[in-house]
Chain A
Amino acid sequence: MADTGSTTPAAPMSRESAIEAAGALDFDQLVALHRQRVTRLARRLLGWRDADLEDVVHDVFLAALRAAPRFRGECRVSTWLTAITLNTCRNRLRRRWPWSWGAARADAPGSPAAPGPPGIDPETAAEVRQAVAALPVKFREVIVLRYLEELGADEIAAALNRTRGAIEVRLTRARRALRARLEALELDDG
């Protein structure tokens, strides 16, 4: 769709190719190019929970299919999809029952931990993920986008439809909140 002719999903696109992106023919390509990234982002935003993940990914691409004719091509397709994923996850989290908000269980019970880099044990990793999952949604979003998706402040600002300054302020507050939680877990000793 948007990235026809380009191999990188984040390549800028013209308005014409954005309109073309609305076509069903290229929708397969859009899904193929971005499904993994959207799934990964949605999973992180949902607190590493798999319960709603498939529904959320489905809803993200459904929203993209419906919104494609309105896509103006002013940002990258990946940023556009990131914004849709953020909104969809936000809506999904809002619909959850109050007792499952915030302190969501980060990992499904019984699911084996993936072998990771040395220096951190799986229990600590789970606690860190829970600390991120327990952050308020707007803080969690910027933390995930900045440190896990490795987006710059400008890209985060575009995805969240905020100014760069507002995003930097939010990032500072989110870091402070996360550090406070990590200190409570006694993880903040480096």
Chain B
Amino acid sequence: MDEQALAKLLTAADALAPAASTSGAADLAARVRRSARIRTQRSRALGSVAAAALLAGAWFSGAGPTRWSAPPLGGRAVIARSEPPHGAAHEDEAWRRRLSLLAGEAESRLALARRTEDLLASRGAARARVGGAAQPDVMTEALLAAEAAAQTLLQKGDRFAHNLNMPREAAREYRRVERLYPETAGARSAARRLSSLPDGA
């Protein structure tokens, strides 16, 4: 069967097809416009719901007791939203958990920052820095996290020193700050407080 015969056969078969049974063709444009309007309204509504859900999620996760805001670099204020209550044994456990979380976060961010810096150095500083200009500054984020952890440890030391009258434990916490997070504002504060502790602590 050559192409012409094939074309003839197909055309004839198509011509013999039963007539299409469509209805409602007259108001097709109006129906399409109505559908488009409904879809637009629906997508807007969905967008609003999604935005509300995001806001609610952010609000509720932000209201948790272990949520921390970014610490001021070099500032003395500690960033805990909820002050640790005194006395109870389970509070120490909460402190410990909070500290381990912060320390883990700080370490991973520092490791990431170091890897990024290595990558930047290996790829050629100029090219990589231009390319990475729009990237978030991982080093700053890592320093902030380290600062937060240092300030928390510092606050724990302050609690030992001033509230519980336990200078030895306070000195231990200050030394931890110096050892774990050197070159942070927290470490400098820890050094000052260590020197102001009574001898033998």
Contacts and interface: CB of A to CB of B under 8 A. Distances in A.
Interface of A: 24, 27-28, 30-32, 35, 39-40, 43-44, 48, 50, 53-54, 57-58, 61-62, 65-66, 106-108, 111-117, 119-120, 122, 124-126, 128-129, 132, 143, 147-148, 175, 178-179, 182, 187-190
A188 B24 CA distance: 40
Interface stretch (B6-14, B128-136, B146-154, B170-178): B6-14
Contacts of B25: 35, 39
B29 to A, nearest CB: 4
24 contacts: A40-B20, A48-B17, A48-B18, A53-B20, A58-B35, A62-B39, A65-B36, A66-B36, A108-B21, A114-B15, A114-B16, A114-B18, A120-B9, A120-B13, A125-B15, A126-B13, A129-B14, A143-B10, A147-B6, A147-B10, A147-B11, A148-B10, A148-B11, A182-B9
B19 interface: yes
A75 B16 CA distance: 32
Given A65-B33, A120-B16, A143-B10, 17 more contacts: A24-B33, A39-B25, A50-B22, A61-B28, A61-B29, A106-B17, A107-B18, A112-B18, A114-B15, A116-B16, A119-B12, A120-B9, A122-B16, A125-B13, A125-B15, A128-B12, A182-B9
Interface residues of B, number: 30
B10 A187 contact: no
Interface of B: 1, 3, 5-7, 9-25, 28-29, 31-33, 35-36, 39
A30 B28 CA distance: 11
Contacts of B35: 58, 62
